Amino acid sequence: EAAVTQSPRSKVAVTGGKVTLSCHQTNNHDYMYWYRQDTGHGLRLIHYSYVADSTEKGDIPDGYKASRPSQENFSLILELASLSQTAVYFCASRAQGANTEVFFGKGTRLTVV
């Protein structure tokens, strides 16, 4: 069973502080993703990576950085957290190929106060 593990599962951060969300996959997948979900909206892509040591911008990258130090790990970094970044964040992974299944983590609920 493919596994994507996110940590922490929940976090409260102060405005202006630095936040790091971590994601670890044991699927041996090349692709990893960070999505965010806001109430009443679908998941939107922030950053993704298709190989270690390289990241790409998604649809809403502003205010976020990503890091992929190894194939298994993919972090999302908020250097200066803002109230508007309160959301649920999902990490996902998939194997290379056009129709491969995407596997999601359980999500991290981030509240910025």
Name the residues that contact other proteins, by CB under 8 A: 4, 31, 33, 35, 37, 40-45, 48, 50, 56, 58-59, 90, 92, 94, 97-107
Judged by beta carbon, residue 79 or residue 101, the one nearer other proteins is: 101
CB of 97 to other proteins, least distance (A): 7
Decide: helix, strand or coil at residue 85: helix
Q: Decide whether 18 or 106 has the Cβ nearer to other proteins.
A: 106
Name residue 67's beta-bridge partners: 75
d(CA 26, CA 17): 30
**Is the Cβ of residue 76 or residue 92 nearer to other proteins in the bound state?**
92
* Residue 24: strand, helix, or coil: strand
- Residue-level length of the chain: 113
Shortest Cβ 80–other proteins spacing (Å): 26
Rounded CA separation 34/50 (Å) = 12
